[in-house]
Structure 1
Amino acid sequence: MSVFQSINPYSQALIQEYPLMDTGKINAALETAANGYHIWRRMRFAERAGVLLNAAKILRAGKEKYAQLITIEMGKVLPESLGEVEKCAWVCEYYAEHGETFLADEQIIAGYQKSFVTYEPIGAVLAIMPWNFPFWQVFRYAAPTLMAGNVTLLKHAPNVSGCSLAIAEIFKAAGAPEGVFQSIIIDVDAVEKILSTPIVQAVTLTGSERAGTSVAAIAGRHVKKSLLELGGSDALIVLPDADLQKAATVALQSRLLNAGQSCIGSKRFIVVKAVLDDFMQLLLNGISQYRQGDPMETGITTGPLARPDLAANLSAQLTGSIKSGAKLEYGGRFDGCNVMPSLLMNVQPGMAAFDQETFGPLAAVVAANDEQHAIELANLSPYGLGGSVWTKDIDKGISLARQITTGAVFINSLVKSDPRLPFGGVKKSGYGRELGRHGILEFVNAKTIAAEL
């Protein structure tokens, strides 16, 4: 393929084609990154913070324009796109304010006259980002990476190349020196060439398990640090003492946000049998209020899936689960990329809707005998990204959260990424952490300095 195509998921109309960079342009980008790094790493924290604050201002000033670009390229409803742009401004401001404190020298008493750890940038970070949150996923890694003094090369998903180039323009307009943030239009076959070069010292990937294992193998061959945020099949556990109405409302919000195309969306609703019937009725009442359609149209709550192959895969998972004994309670209609919000009941281990990540507006309801059975079911997954527990007993919720094998558990709340909290998974959901202080420490050299008289 010599070009990437950006195609409107709702109408399937071609938006634009983007030529792939040849070897000469890739080499030039790497040289530019090396030059930019030598400038950027020596700039004061306040100067780097100024660039991030400028980026936040640009994002807010152009919020409508950037939100429309997101919606047109990948299909989420416009209000969600507007929220995504606002969140990107927030993460820029967060690291501008806290980055220097996070990276301050750490004094350690070890019997020397002086001994401490200093945190230094490492070079260029290659970022391989997905299409589902085309602005947020980028700013989530870029804000801490740049604040730490690194530079970055962004390989975005082909179908959101317009978003990728727009983000590069934002950082340029914000005052970032040339080479600090570059959008590179490349295919996967160029990844190893880039990772093998001395200036590139790490790679961060958000995407599928398949992509993650491939990139991690390449990084390993070249002894480069890697961070992976992969798939998820989050459990939402509902106990008998939960606020059922709130739990049902947030469950549907979590599952149908971004048309269900969210790694940390609650995909398995694990409900203790004592309240299963009541909870199901609340789900049915709530899901009937959602409207699928043109994401630019007012009142539409669920846009299309981003690509036809994603819809075909979800359809196969739905059909396979029904053949294995699940019951379709609502939805199930597919029209190209447009998928009606759907609800499956009687889902059990061994079914696609339980074992696999379902990336679309499909919720799976799983019956649990009691709370310990619910924990067992939650952990019976190859993934471990996030999850939630719903109970009016906060201490019990925290106790159960400690038993769930995931990177995060929220009690009586929507699972979401927050600039202030570390984010990442375990098992096949990946490794490493983004956001919070943990996120900015992923791509730095923790250098020990010890001195004697």
Structure 2
Amino acid sequence: MPIQTINPYNNQLVKSFDALTEKELEQKIAKAHQAYLSWRNESIETRAALLHEVSAIMLRKNKELAKLITLEMGKLIAQSESEIEMCASVYKYYADNAAEFLKDKPLETTDGSAFIRYTPTGIILGVEPWNFPFNQVGRLAAPNIVAGNVMMVKHASNVPQCAAMIETIFRDAGAPEGIYTNLFLPGEKIAALAADDRITGMSLTGSEKAGSSLAEAAGKNLKKSVLELGGSDAFIILDDADIDLAVAKAVLGRFNNMGQSCTSSKRIIAVASVAEEFLEKFTSKISGLKVGDPMDPTTKIGPMVSEEAAQKITRQVNDTVKDGARIVVGGKRIDREGAFYEFTILTDIPKGSVAYKEELFGPVASFYKVKDIEEAISLANDTGFGLGGSVFSKDTDKAIEVASRIDTGMVFINQNVASRPDLPFGGTKRSGYGRELSPLGIEEFVNKKVIRLP
């Protein structure tokens, strides 16, 4: 896949980058390994100071960085600015809390004493996606760098300017060479890197296919891996829900970032007694919104990430309708230049159809009406994915009970799923394994070494 910026607003090529040669790649790995041998001995305070500076730079350059996001993947400019703020908060969170997270943990023993000491392991290779080009990297880089590891990142090939900028930010923050390294590489080169003994862990956020490939390579070479893959999150509305709140959160949860989020509220499941009211209000909220340039702060519907993505969601919707589904609103490309697709709601979706079984990674909501809680839970779990989910009810105990029966890594009550630095992020089933963020995120690629005393 070419490494180039193509502006999805007009599908025009902006800039191209050359992939690394084998010699250049080896030089970068060698520098990263040498950097690790020194960095692992630095104090946590020194490492945290670097993250604080990275965070500060990102906040100072918020508008500049946000424009790069919008240029390369089409995110509305206000959402791009919010992404930079979120990413800066992740770096600050780990800078502020790493010393506490990594302090020795005493163990209870029958005789003598023992404790766990958290020690770094080496180079961590990250394979990162385009949909949150700064924040996804920050979630992996921040905890690992402050823990004493070093990062090498193969970013998505369609956001190369964002990828290069992250390395620049680390350099400007005073990071020694090799602490953070951007790799301009095609995806097929990644599996081979698992065989390199200097690389001790691998993490990927992306598709099932890419995750399976990385996991296979990591397993073959006995490397730890973390995967955050697709999702088809259920958004359950019970009969006692605050409907206006549910509508507002569904609009945000499904259509933020043009629906191109793993934790987007893709399947909206409403109990029959409130289904029609919700659907009417939900449809009204997404109708008549301004379509246009994502750089314009007044635009509400921007392009998808690429022409390929817009064509894929078009095929998925068309195939689902052929299977018997009904379009409530939207359902087609917007007649203008660029990778645009209408905000869409599908309903009467047959079991086994494309929208029922596949992830819809775009601005399309699947709406289901069910007779009761039991049917809602059954439908929510009738998927191979298990990333996130939401439950709306004024009865907190009932909502928690429903949440406990949904097979996912995360469930939010009376809100859409969202990423926060202090909450573990990750899924189950085909949505992957391992966790990012929170104290759990810093523990994935460190050695939990037991030290025993008499």
Aligned twin of 2:446: 444
Aligned twin of 1:25: 24
Deviations 1:351-392 (A, max 9, x none): 211211000000110111101110000000000000000000
What aligned pairs does 1:181-260 form with structure 2 within 5 A after superposition?
Answer: 181-260=180-259
Letter in 2 for 1:270: I
Distance (whole Å) between structure 1 residues aligned to residue 412 and residue 451 of structure 2:
39
Distance (whole Å) between structure 2 residues aligned to residue 393 and residue 326 of structure 1:
32
CA contact (8 A) 1:96 1:147 kept: yes
Distance (whole Å) between structure 2 residues aligned to residue 363 and residue 449 of structure 1:
52
Aligned twin of 1:171: 170
What aligned pairs does 1:25-424 form with structure 2 within 5 A after superposition?
Answer: 25-335=24-334, 336-424=338-426
Deviations 1:294-341 (A, max 9, x none): 101231112211111111111111011111111101111214510111
CA contact (8 A) 1:292 1:340 kept: no
How many pairs were matched up? 451
Displaced runs of 4+ in structure 1, greater than 6 A? none
Deviations 1:273-314 (A, max 9, x none): 111111111111111153332101231112211111111111
CA contact (8 A) 1:292 1:339 kept: no
SS at match of 1:290: coil
Q: CA deviation at 1:112?
A: 3.8
CA contact (8 A) 1:21 1:184 kept: yes
Larger mean Cα displacement after TM superposition, 68-77 or 316-325: 316-325
CA contact (8 A) 1:290 1:341 kept: no
Distance (whole Å) between structure 2 residues aligned to residue 237 and residue 189 of structure 1:
39
Q: Normalization by structure 1: what TM-score?
A: 0.98
Distance (whole Å) between structure 1 residues aligned to residue 441 and residue 101 of structure 2:
10
Distance (whole Å) between structure 2 residues aligned to residue 236 and residue 375 of structure 1:
11
Listed as ranges, the gaps of 5+ residues in structure 1 are none
Deviations 1:10-37 (A, max 9, x none): 1111110000000000000100011110
SS at match of 1:253: helix
CA contact (8 A) 2:323 2:350 kept: no
Deviations 1:151-196 (A, max 9, x none): 0101000010110000001011111111000001011232133221
Q: Normalization by structure 2: what TM-score?
A: 0.98
Listed as ranges, the gaps of 5+ residues in structure 2 are none
CA contact (8 A) 1:348 1:366 kept: no
Q: 1:249 to 1:348 in 2, by over 3 A?
A: farther
Distance (whole Å) between structure 1 residues aligned to residue 101 and residue 312 of structure 2:
42
CA contact (8 A) 1:112 1:451 kept: no
CA contact (8 A) 1:293 1:338 kept: no
Distance (whole Å) between structure 2 residues aligned to residue 177 and residue 107 of structure 1:
33
Distance (whole Å) between structure 1 residues aligned to residue 214 and residue 48 of structure 2:
31
Distance (whole Å) between structure 1 residues aligned to residue 443 and residue 356 of structure 2:
34
Aligned twin of 1:425: 427
Distance (whole Å) between structure 2 residues aligned to residue 292 and residue 226 of structure 1:
40
